[in-house]
């Protein structure tokens, strides 16, 4: 009888508190890089559920808290890769395992979440190097489709999704890339025609949106319907653009259609920082592993860009779109430091800024109320020698071994087949 | 008057023949025999490293460079790329083409040479492509940007020949052509060397019969036709050329090792070899080096099984490791790739640095005069404004044989500004 009463009482208690008591985890570290605030020496992070409950130097640990202690180690927020093909593409050369690119020019209705492969080998691999959040995006055409924001931990795709439709990807028509400085005069630059076409599509989509707002019974159009989120929900529009004159045109278009725009790539951005700053649009950089396109660019043009943007007060994020080497993101960012970008700005460009640019609140920094995506390293995250020793995603320690680690262990023990 | 003219002539000749002497002051110098030396000077005379010590006194005519806060490393050697060539990296027309040589296609105007210099690279192993099971002869070039082609070719290096296994030679052909399988590739290589041995026998028979025939009858003997392909193959069998073999998978590499024993050629290194970690013991036993990308993978099927942590196994077993760019943009950040050796293989700074300097130098047989900072070696140096294995540093100056070929302070652009060509 007594037992039954107890059971009833606990049931009531559980019901009143909503869910069972949240799991508590504490992480101690030698140096906590909060990103949004000061660096905390010998500090601690207290996690409740998936969130950071407290962070600081003197925190009393509640009973039943699991403590992870990393003396002399560094703690960072998880890295965010804002333009990636993780989960969408496998071996680069094989079409069968690539789901990034559709033929055709305007594909706003194509959403990458519907092809996201949560069991990809490449996901734990990237995670092992500190990447905890990615935006997997489609490519190709003028409007490639919509990208999905995903956390790097989970079983099914649904487990991983943070936001299923996180941005519209637009590849702005530009004068064709010319490498090594060849300038073919016969090949006329016909980008203006293409820009007109793109603007027309936006125009029609916008008109469609207004019509549907007014008359629910207005005729349905799949492509235009997919565009409505741009105005209805202020869906971010990532506009990839290379040349300086095209950057200006892209900004103009974004203003004309009052888009929540993010400029991407902007290889020639250095000469139009004023215009970008005035537009208020943030930037997602392309890979720092690019070759020069013109002689006159100078051999370090691509590495100088982040520092130039920083100086102009433009918010930017680093990116690395290749899925297999997604883990190289922080090393790429380190290159900008060699050419004048302060170290802390480089770290921000890997964490807080991509989160803010993508409108991902509560990510990219170690602060109370932020999602507990945390990585533990044995050195500066930008250093080529640094290893990620442990990571926590949404407050939970990640234990799954990556393909790289499994493969290493198999070769070490010379085990054919799976490990014990 | 005459005397002074002669004097001026002699002095000009002297200054033309020998480069400027340099005194590099207060640098952090990465040596392999004496470790990392702080606040150290390097004296460079007649294009060679003449002295490494603290507080070397300056002398007239010597150019002093203060390198406080900078590090000096040996000029980086890219152990596998295809730069400085006037097109035609692959001899596609046939499968077995050891008679062709990259030495006949040097293009000293290739802007990639300059890009290499901006990353501290002073020497590259410029190779034939991977379309053929047996490709052409490779060359080693020093990146003397702006000098004529013949000055770039480093003839003191060991002669190497390119072999290739796996997907590339399989796919270079139309699907109906031979070889289209790894087995076919193995057979192509085997058959070529058997043919070469037969060719040698033919010539030996002819030479023997020359000896046993009376002088007046000798003109009646018909010599066998000369075949440059066979002669190149014989040079490989005579170890005048060593094999540098493009391979990805473990089993095809083991198969080539087997063939090397059967036929008698020497494999100096496997190129790319993503699955080397599976055969670390075999590679160590055979003393075969590897020339690899550090962590670029999964770009094609045979590159999809790989782990960079395998480098730890290879390093432990004593396999000589060198890094390469294969001509991509990697060539100007090889120092960063070497830096990752510390992360993946647990190497220290100097061991990691060797993978882009001394190790490739040894594999190419140029370690007698370059590949490390030692007194008496040629002044092939790269100067960085910080730690030379960190992405947060950059190359400031690149020097070959005591001549500055890249100076970041002066060379703002990738090359001379282009002029519009009028028609």
Tens of pLDDT, residues A115-126? 999 999 999 999
- Is the pLDDT at B419 greater than 70? The verdict is no
Residues sharing a CB contact under 8 Å with residue B388, sequence separation 6 or more, in sequence order: B30, B71, B73, B120, B335, B353, B382
Q: Give the Cβ contact number of residue B220 at 10 Å.
A: 7
Q: Which residues pair with A392 in a beta bridge?
A: A374, A397
**Is the Cβ pair A295, B415 closer than 8 Å?**
yes
**Is the Cβ pair B340, A385 closer than 8 Å?**
yes
Q: Which residues pair with A89 in a beta bridge?
A: A98
Residue among A105, A120, A362, A293 at smallest CA distance from B304: A120
Residues sharing a CB contact under 8 Å with residue A214, sequence separation 6 or more, in sequence order: none
A166 CA: distance to closest CA in chain B (Å): 27
Give pLDDT, residue A7. Answer: 54
Cis peptide preceding A196, ω within 30 of 0: no
CA distances from B411 to A225, A293, B118, B408 (A): 53, 17, 9, 5
Of A290, A337, A403, the CB nearest to B329: A290
| pLDDT band (50, 70, 90) for residue B167 | very high
- Is the pLDDT at A5 greater than 60? The verdict is no
Residue among A301, A257, A307, A256 at smallest CA distance from A283: A307
Give pLDDT, residue A297. Answer: 77
Nearest CA in chain B to A301: B413
| pLDDT band (50, 70, 90) for residue A9 | low
Q: Are strands A260-265 and A283-285 parallel, antiparallel or unpaired?
A: parallel
**Is the Cβ pair A412, B300 closer than 8 Å?**
no
Cβ–Cβ contact A417 with B under 8 A: no
Q: Give chain A's mean pLDDT.
A: 91
A286 in Cβ contact with A267 (< 8 Å): yes
Give pLDDT, residue B199. Answer: 98
User: Span B226-246, mean pLDDT?
Assistant: 98
| pLDDT band (50, 70, 90) for residue B418 | very low
Tens of pLDDT, residues B207-233? 999 999 999 999 999 999 999 999 999
User: Span A357-364, mean pLDDT?
Assistant: 97
Cβ–Cβ contact A5 with B under 8 A: no
Residues of B in contact with A325 (CB under 8 A): 295-298
Q: Which residue has the tokens 């390293």?
A: A377
User: Span A289-312, mean pLDDT?
Assistant: 88
Strand stretches in B35-102, DSSP E? 36-45, 48-53, 62-66, 71-74, 76-81
Q: Which residue has the higher pLDDT, B163 or B14?
A: B163
Tens of pLDDT, residues A202-233? 999 999 999 999 998 889 999 999 999 999 99
Tens of pLDDT, residues A250-275? 999 999 999 999 999 999 999 999 99
How many C-alpha atoms does B37 have within 13 Å on its Cβ side? 21
Of A335, A384, A408, the CB nearest to B389: A384
d(CA B377, CA B405): 18
Give pLDDT, residue A166. Answer: 98
3-state secondary structure labels for all residues of B342-406: HHHHCCCHHHHHHCCCHHHHHHCCCCCCCCCCCCCCECCEEEECCCCCCCCCCEEEEEECCEEEE
| pLDDT band (50, 70, 90) for residue B420 | very low
Residues of A in contact with B304 (CB under 8 A): 90-91
Full-model pTM: 0.93
User: Span A328-354, mean pLDDT?
Assistant: 97
Percent of chain B with pLDDT over 90: 85
Residues of B in contact with A386 (CB under 8 A): 343
- Is the pLDDT at A2 greater than 80? The verdict is no
User: Span A296-322, mean pLDDT?
Assistant: 93
d(CA B238, CA B241): 8
Of B305, B309, B342, the CB nearest to A385: B342
Residue among A57, A52, A48 at smallest CA distance from A20: A48
**Is the Cβ pair B392, A292 closer than 8 Å?**
no
Tens of pLDDT, residues A79-96? 999 999 999 999 988 889
Residues of B in contact with A122 (CB under 8 A): 298
Q: Which residue has the tokens 């120092």?
A: B335
Q: Which residues pair with A81 in a beta bridge?
A: A134
Residues within 8 A of A (CB atoms), B 118-177 only: 118
- Is the pLDDT at B15 greater than 70? The verdict is no
User: Span B89-110, mean pLDDT?
Assistant: 93
Residues of A in contact with B306 (CB under 8 A): 407
Q: What are A71's two structure tokens?
A: 């003396």
A412 in Cβ contact with A67 (< 8 Å): no
How many C-alpha atoms does A169 have within 13 Å on its Cβ side? 28
Residues of B in contact with A181 (CB under 8 A): 418
Q: Give the Cβ contact number of residue A349 at 10 Å.
A: 29
Of B297, B330, B392, the CB nearest to A324: B297
- Is the pLDDT at A281 greater than 90? The verdict is yes
Q: What are B268's two structure tokens?
A: 């100096």
Residues sharing a CB contact under 8 Å with residue A240, sequence separation 6 or more, in sequence order: A169, A170, A171, A172, A264, A265
Handedness of CA B268, B270, B275, B277 (dihedral sign): positive
Give pLDDT, residue B71. Answer: 98
CA distances from A263 to A83, A87, A302, B42 (A): 12, 23, 16, 48
d(CA B225, CA B208): 16
A86 in Cβ contact with A123 (< 8 Å): yes
Q: Which residue has the higher pLDDT, B170 or A3?
A: B170
**Is the Cβ pair B391, A338 closer than 8 Å?**
yes
- Is the pLDDT at B415 greater than 60? The verdict is no
Cβ–Cβ contact B284 with A under 8 A: no
A307 in Cβ contact with A339 (< 8 Å): yes
Nearest CA in chain B to A387: B343
Tens of pLDDT, residues B302-343? 999 999 999 999 999 999 999 999 988 899 999 999 999 999
B364 in Cβ contact with B46 (< 8 Å): no
Q: Give chain B's mean pLDDT.
A: 93
User: Span B46-70, mean pLDDT?
Assistant: 96
Give pLDDT, residue B421. Answer: 40
Percent of chain A with pLDDT over 90: 83
**Is the Cβ pair B296, A405 closer than 8 Å?**
no
Q: Which residues pair with A146 in a beta bridge?
A: A111, A168
Tens of pLDDT, residues A380-391? 999 999 999 999
| pLDDT band (50, 70, 90) for residue B392 | very high
- Is the pLDDT at B257 greater than 70? The verdict is yes
Q: Which residue has the higher pLDDT, A21 or B392?
A: B392
Helices marked H in A128-167: 157-160
Of B278, B299, B301, the CB nearest to A324: B299
Give pLDDT, residue A17. Answer: 47
**Is the Cβ pair B336, A331 closer than 8 Å?**
yes
B342 in Cβ contact with B309 (< 8 Å): no
CA B137 distance to own-chain centroid:
12
* Ramachandran category for residue A310: left, alpha or beta (phi over 0 → left; psi -120 to 50 → alpha): alpha
Give pLDDT, residue B195. Answer: 98
User: Span A305-323, mean pLDDT?
Assistant: 97
**Is the Cβ pair B278, A411 closer than 8 Å?**
yes
Q: What are B217's two structure tokens?
A: 């009858």
| pLDDT band (50, 70, 90) for residue A181 | very low
Nearest CA in chain B to A181: B418
Give pLDDT, residue A391. Answer: 96
| pLDDT band (50, 70, 90) for residue B413 | low
d(CA A272, CA B357): 41
């Amino acid at each position: 009888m007594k037992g039954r009463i107890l059971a009833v009482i606990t049931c009531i208690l559980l019901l009143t508190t909503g869910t069972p008591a949240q799991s508590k985890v504490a992480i101690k570290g030698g140096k906590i890089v909060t990103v949004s605030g000061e660096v905390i020496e010998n500090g601690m992070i207290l996690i409740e559920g998936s969130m950071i409950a407290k962070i600081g130097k003197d925190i009393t640990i509640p009973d039943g808290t699991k403590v992870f202690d990393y003396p002399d180690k560094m703690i960072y927020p998880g890295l965010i890769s804002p333009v990636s093909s993780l989960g969408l593409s496998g071996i680069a050369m094989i079409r069968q395992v690539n789901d990034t690119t559709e033929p055709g020019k305007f594909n706003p209705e194509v959403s990458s979440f519907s092809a996201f492969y949560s069991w990809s080998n490449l996901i734990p691999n990237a995670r092992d190097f500190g990447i905890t959040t990615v935006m997997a995006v489609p490519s190709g055409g003028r409007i490639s489709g919509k990208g999905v924001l995903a956390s790097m931990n989970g079983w099914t795709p649904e487990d991983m999704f943070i936001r299923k439709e996180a941005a519209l990807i637009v590849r702005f028509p530009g004068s064709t890339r010319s490498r090594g400085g060849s300038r073919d005069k016969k090949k006329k630059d016909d980008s203006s025609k293409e820009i007109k076409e793109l603007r027309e599509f936006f125009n029609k989509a916008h008109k469609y949106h207004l019509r549907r707002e007014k008359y629910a019974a207005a005729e349905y159009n799949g492509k235009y319907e997919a565009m409505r989120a741009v105005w209805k929900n202020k869906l971010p529009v990532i506009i990839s653009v290379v040349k300086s004159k095209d950057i200006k045109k892209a900004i103009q278009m974004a203003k004309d259609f009052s888009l929540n725009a993010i400029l991407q790539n902007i290889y020639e951005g250095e000469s139009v920082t004023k215009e970008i700053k005035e537009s208020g649009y943030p930037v997602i950089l392309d890979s720092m592993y690019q070759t020069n396109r013109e002689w006159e660019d100078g051999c370090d043009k691509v590495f100088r860009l982040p520092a130039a943007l920083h100086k102009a007060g433009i918010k930017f994020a680093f990116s690395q779109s290749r899925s297999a080497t997604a883990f190289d993101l922080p090393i790429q960012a380190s290159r900008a430091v060699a050419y004048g970008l302060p170290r802390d700005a480089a770290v921000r460009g890997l964490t807080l800024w991509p989160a803010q640019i993508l409108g991902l609140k509560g990510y990219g920094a170690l602060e109370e109320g932020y999602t507990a995506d945390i990585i533990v390293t044995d050195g500066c995250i930008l250093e080529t020698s640094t290893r990620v020793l442990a990571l926590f995603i949404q407050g939970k320690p990640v234990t799954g071994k990556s393909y790289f680690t499994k493969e290493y262990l198999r070769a070490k023990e010379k085990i054919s087949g799976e490990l014990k | 008057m005459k005397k002074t003219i002669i004097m001026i002539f002699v002095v000009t000749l002297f200054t033309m023949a020998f480069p400027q002497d340099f005194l590099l002051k207060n640098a952090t110098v990465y040596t392999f025999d004496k470790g990392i030396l702080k606040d150290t000077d390097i004296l460079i005379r007649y294009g060679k490293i003449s002295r490494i010590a603290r507080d070397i006194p300056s002398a007239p005519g010597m150019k002093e460079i203060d390198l406080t806060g900078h590090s000096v490393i040996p000029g980086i050697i890219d152990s596998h790329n295809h730069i400085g060539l006037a097109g035609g990296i692959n001899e596609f027309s046939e499968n077995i083409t050891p008679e062709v040589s990259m030495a006949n296609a040097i293009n000293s105007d290739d802007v990639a040479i300059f890009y290499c210099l901006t990353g501290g690279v002073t020497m590259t192993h410029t190779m034939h492509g991977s379309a053929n099971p047996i490709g052409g002869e490779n060359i080693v070039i020093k990146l003397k940007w702006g000098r004529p082609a013949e000055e770039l070719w480093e003839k003191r290096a060991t002669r190497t020949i390119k072999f290739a296994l796996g997907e590339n030679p399989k796919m270079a052909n139309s699907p109906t052509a031979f070889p289209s399988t790894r087995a076919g590739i193995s057979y192509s290589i085997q058959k070529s060397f058997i043919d070469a041995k037969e060719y040698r026998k033919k010539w030996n028979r002819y030479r023997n019969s020359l000896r046993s025939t009376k002088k007046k009858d000798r003109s009646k003997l018909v010599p066998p036709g000369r075949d440059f392909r066979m002669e190149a193959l014989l040079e490989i069998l005579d170890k005048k050329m060593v094999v540098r073999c493009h391979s990805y998978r473990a089993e095809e590499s083991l198969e080539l090792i087997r063939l090397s024993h059967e036929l008698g050629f020497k494999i100096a290194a496997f190129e790319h070899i993503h699955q080397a970690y599976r055969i670390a013991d075999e590679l160590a036993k055979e003393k075969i080096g590897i020339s690899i990308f550090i962590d670029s993978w999964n770009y094609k099927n045979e590159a999809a099984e790989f782990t960079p942590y395998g480098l730890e196994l290879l390093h432990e077993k004593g396999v000589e490791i060198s890094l390469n760019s294969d001509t991509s943009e990697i060539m100007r950040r090889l120092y960063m790739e070497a830096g990752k050796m510390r992360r993946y293989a647990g190497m220290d700074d100097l061991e990691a640095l060797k993978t882009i300097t001394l190790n490739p130098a040894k594999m190419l047989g140029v370690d007698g005069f370059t590949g490390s900072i030692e007194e008496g070696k040629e002044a092939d140096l790269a100067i960085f404004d910080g730690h030379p294995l960190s992405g947060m540093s950059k190359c400031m100056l690149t020097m070959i044989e005591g001549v500055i070929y890249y100076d970041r302070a002066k060379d703002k652009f990738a090359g001379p500004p282009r002029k519009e060509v009028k028609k």
